Amino acid sequence: MRALKTRILILHFCEFCMGSAKIGTMNSPRKYAVIVSLFATLFLTSRLVGEDDRKHPNFILIVADDLGYGDLACYGNTIAKTPHLDRLAREGLRFTDFHSNGAMCTPTRVALLTGLYQQRFGPEFEGPLSGKTQRDIGLPLEAVTVAELLQPLGYQTGLFGKWHLGYRPKFLPTRQGFSTFVGLTSGDGDHHSQIDRSGQLDWWHQETMTSEPGYTGDLITHHAVEFIRQNRDQPFLLYVPHLAIHFPWQGPKDPVHRVQGTDYEQDKWGKIPDRNNVQPHVTAMIEALDASVGQIIKTVKSLDLAENTFVLFISDNGGYRSYGTTHHRISRNGILRGQKGELYEGGHRVPAIGWWPGTVPSAVCHQTWMTMDIMPTLLELAGTLATDLDGVSFSRVLTDEAFRERPSERTFFWRTQRRFAVRQGPWKLVASHHEPPQLFHLGEDPGETTDRSEAAITQLETMLKAYSAWETDVLKNR
């Protein structure tokens, strides 16, 4: 195992020039990010002793949609067959305590691409953007994405799959640092017809709406593989946000559900003969997702890129166990309490696997990390740094076994419009503004079954105080 070849370049000069403005916040100029990138480029030749001259590593970020903590075989699923992801987990680093920033789609994607708590961008990013009522809302162009910071370093950037950060052309990925985009903008589309729940076609090539026959997962995979082939000789960031396993619950062999011109708000789930057991459809989607990962990895290996490519697989939030009173036995969250949309562990603890042959050893990481930590990690691995992010790089976890064994010391926060949660070490607080807070010790009670708020009142008060300070900070510029 060789050590990582790139390290952080601390760019305090940028802070001196621009002050302490937070990258990506509404009052932060984009030129701040440009300065960061320019200085990173200028100083890239400042290498540590013993480092070789290999090119920047490639990054492949694969994000599943609504995949529960227990939906993969390597996380305990005994029904779905996921040999490709299981192999990545065996050969690479499997995280047991990785969390999405949000318990639903849009919030997590904001944090992933900006390295910031999504709450900094406004209340509309604390839940999924609606295609009916929020088509004029999108990730602000002032936000600086990881793609925009990697481009000046020579990276080719491509996104194939679900965007869900804005519907209008002005909000498309091509305006946020991705030179190539094929996919959908909405939160869900028919996996065969690409029709969203409002009955509109939602499939884009760059900034042109089009139609393309095929199963969405297969189309995403095809374009991702072609992107790798076309950019084999230069560093690239490949972002693959799959639509699976989001409803409509359709495997490759399930029928088309949606047609253009029909509103599916009250019938968005797909053609499910047995609504008390959706798992057969979801299992087919999981296995198709696994096959997609297998094709991408096969391409990386066939082009002799594996030893210079970091692959990270995650989910954007937890899975649905049930959907209201209508659909049941959908996804699996293992022993975790709760599901998608909730702030118990089942809503935001997600599977996460890092794979990089020759650099990342076969190991398991029990430290707590979050989606917003991905951006600073990729930037550090590329040899640069964006300052003043909420996220923290976990690049050291990838190779340093001793560091990996240290307990997590950060405090983590989740917030929806109705509830909030705080994590400090093994302690987890779940609360709302209208109900008494609950306190759990995840080390002894990962299923959040026993409320210890009365027995650990000092810990409870400490976490409530921390949340109050955090909330004041992230909401101050809204």
Catalytic residue flag (residue 105) = yes
Q: Which H or E run contains 461?
A: helix 457-475
Per-residue pLDDT band for 15 (boundaries 50, 70, 90) equals very low
477 SS3 class: coil
Evaluate if residue 10 carries a pLDDT over 50: no
Average pLDDT on 437-465 reads: 98
**pLDDT number for residue 132:** 87
Contact 414, 101 (CB under 8 A): yes
Distance CA 139, CA 116 (A): 12
**pLDDT number for residue 8:** 32
Fold of 58-404: Alkaline Phosphatase, subunit A (3.40.720)
Indicate where the chain has its CATH 3.40.720.10 domain(s): 58-404
Catalytic residue flag (residue 366) = no
**pLDDT number for residue 44:** 42
Burial class (CB in 10 A: 0-12, 13-18, 19+), 327: buried
State the DSSP code for 407.
Answer: P
More confident residue, 433 or 198: 198
**pLDDT number for residue 54:** 52
58-64 and 93-99: which strand pairing? Answer: unpaired
**pLDDT number for residue 417:** 87
Two tokens at 460?
A: 């409870």
Sequence-ordered alpha helix ranges (H) in 253-323: 279-302
**pLDDT number for residue 27:** 46
Average pLDDT on 9-15 reads: 36
pTM attached to this predicted model: 0.91
Evaluate if residue 319 carries a pLDDT over 70: yes
Evaluate if residue 423 carries a pLDDT over 80: yes
Evaluate if residue 410 carries a pLDDT over 90: yes
**pLDDT digit string, tens, across residues 272-300:** 999 999 999 999 999 999 999 999 999 99
Average pLDDT on 353-364 reads: 98
Evaluate if residue 52 carries a pLDDT over 90: no
Average pLDDT on 469-477 reads: 94
Average pLDDT score over the chain: 91
Q: How long a stretch of residues is the chain? A: 478
Sequence-ordered alpha helix ranges (H) in 44-184: 83-91, 105-114, 146-150
| 355 HSE (CA, 13 A, CB side) | 25
Residue tagged active-site, from 99, 164, 192, 327: 164
From its phi and psi, is residue 386 left (phi > 0), alpha (psi between -120 and 50) or beta? Answer: beta
- Tell me which residue has tokens 């601390």: 10
**pLDDT digit string, tens, across residues 232-252:** 999 999 999 999 999 999 999
Q: With b meaning 16 or more CB within 10 Å and e meaning fewer, what string describes 151-186?
A: bebebbbbbbbbbbbbbeeebbbbbbbbbbbbbbbb
Indicate where the chain has its CATH 3.30.1120.10 domain(s): 411-475
* 235 upstream amide cis, omega within 30 of 0: no
More confident residue, 359 or 3: 359
| 73 HSE (CA, 13 A, CB side) | 17
Residue tagged active-site, from 56, 105, 223, 257: 105
Two tokens at 109?
A: 């994607």
Q: What percent of the chain has pLDDT over 70?
A: 89
**pLDDT digit string, tens, across residues 374-390:** 999 999 999 998 889 99
**pLDDT digit string, tens, across residues 171-182:** 999 999 999 999
Evaluate if residue 403 carries a pLDDT over 80: yes
**pLDDT number for residue 18:** 40
Architecture of domain 411-475: 2-Layer Sandwich (3.30)
Sequence-ordered alpha helix ranges (H) in 333-456: 345-348, 374-381, 395-399, 401-404
Tell me how crowded residue 452 is: count the other CB atoms within 10 A of its CB: 17
Average pLDDT on 100-115 reads: 98
Evaluate if residue 70 carries a pLDDT over 50: yes
Average pLDDT on 357-368 reads: 98
Cα 36 to chain center, whole Å? Answer: 24
Distance CA 43, CA 22 (A): 22
Distance CA 120, CA 116 (A): 7
